[in-house]
Amino acid sequence: MSEKINLKLKVWRQNRGEAGRFEDYEANGIDTDASFLEMLDVVNEEITLGGGEPIAFEHDCREGICGCCGSLVNGKTHGSHERTTLCQLHMRHFKDGETVVIEPFRATAFPVIKDLIVDRSGLDQIIAEGGYVSVKTGNAPEASTTPIKKEMAEASMDAAQCIGCGACVAACPNGAAMLFTAAKVSQYALLPQGHPERTQRVLGMVNKMDELGFGNCSNEYECAVACPKGIDVKNIARLNREFVKASLTSEK
Ligand code: FES
């Protein structure tokens, strides 16, 4: 049964290019069945009615599938509930009277746009380097003409679950986008359909990742813990293998 709780919030407020600061708010009468973003909606309504500027935060689907939402809640990406996006985090996981600290994802490659919104377009630029496959137009081919082992298909689908929220980057002490890039490279490398661009994809994505200021992996595994979709770090090992192979075989 749902209950009502009251919370004290410390929210990071910042305009692009300016210094940020924490501001205190109260979230009163919050339904424990509400999501974290719905709680922020309630707080924003209060702020707006009082003539203030609402807290800027990003969201879209509110179903855990688009990857738009994400903030540090008490220092954890998407909050401390396992495999949950911020939009799917429910207020029943908070205690009445608790103080909740809310900050934007922190990473060199994710500059703050406003309040809790960061610029994650670097991830889009990595995708643009090879997040596609060559396909011929026309009728769909007969499925059994390209046999794919079940375990390969499943591993590819597991990697394809990445929603690009950037929690892995924010959780990594190096601000690395290795888990994200590894998931994108793996989902294609594991299937024959991804092989025509296999070499240029991994080289392009890794080079773009470095160029944009994302850090490198030092095996902290924080990314895998933070990932709301449970992307496995084994994908990073596959990314490294793909990169070495592509570096040795590509024509310079
Ligand atoms: S709003 Fe789409 S994943 Fe949270």
> How many of the other CB atoms lie within 10 Å of CB of 154?
12
Q: Which helix (H) or strand (E) holds 151?
A: helix 150-159
The closest of 22, 3, 17, 5 to 75, measured between CA atoms, is 22
The span from the CA of 84 to the CA of 105, in Å, is: 15
How many angstroms from the chain centroid is the CA of residue 118?
11
Hey, what domains does the chain have and what are their CATH numbers? Answer: 4-114 (3.10.20.30), 120-249 (1.10.1060.10)
- 231 and 187 Cβ atoms separated by less than 8 Å: no
Ligand 1 centre and the CA of 242: distance in Å? 30
- Mapped onto helix, strand or coil, the DSSP state of residue 144 is helix
Residue keyed to tokens 């570096």: 247
Atom of ligand 1 lying closest to residue 70 CA = 4
The one-digit pLDDT tens for each residue of the chain (252 residues) are 789 999 999 999 999 889 999 999 999 999 999 999 999 999 999 999 999 999 999 999 999 999 999 999 999 999 999 999 999 999 999 999 999 999 999 999 999 999 999 999 999 999 999 988 887 788 887 878 888 999 999 999 999 999 999 999 999 999 999 999 999 999 999 999 899 999 999 999 999 999 999 999 999 999 999 999 999 999 999 999 999 999 999 865
Strand partners for 202: none
> What does the alpha-carbon distance between residue 105 and residue 214 come to, in Å, rounded to a whole number?
14
Q: Is the CB of 60 under 6 A from ligand 1?
A: yes
Q: Which residues contact 113 (CB under 8 A, 6 or more apart)?
A: 16, 56, 119
Q: Which atom of ligand 1 is nearest to the CA of 60?
A: 1
Alpha-carbon separation of residue 12 from 71, 90, 230, 244 (angstroms): 10, 21, 27, 41
Q: Which of 41, 57, 61, 78 to mutate to test the pocket of ligand 1 (most atoms within 8 A of CB)?
A: 61
Q: Is 59 in the pocket of ligand 1 (CB under 6 A)?
A: yes
Tokens of 48: 């707006």
State both tokens at 181: 């890039």
Question: Given the CA of residue 165, which atom of ligand 1 is nearest to it?
Answer: 3
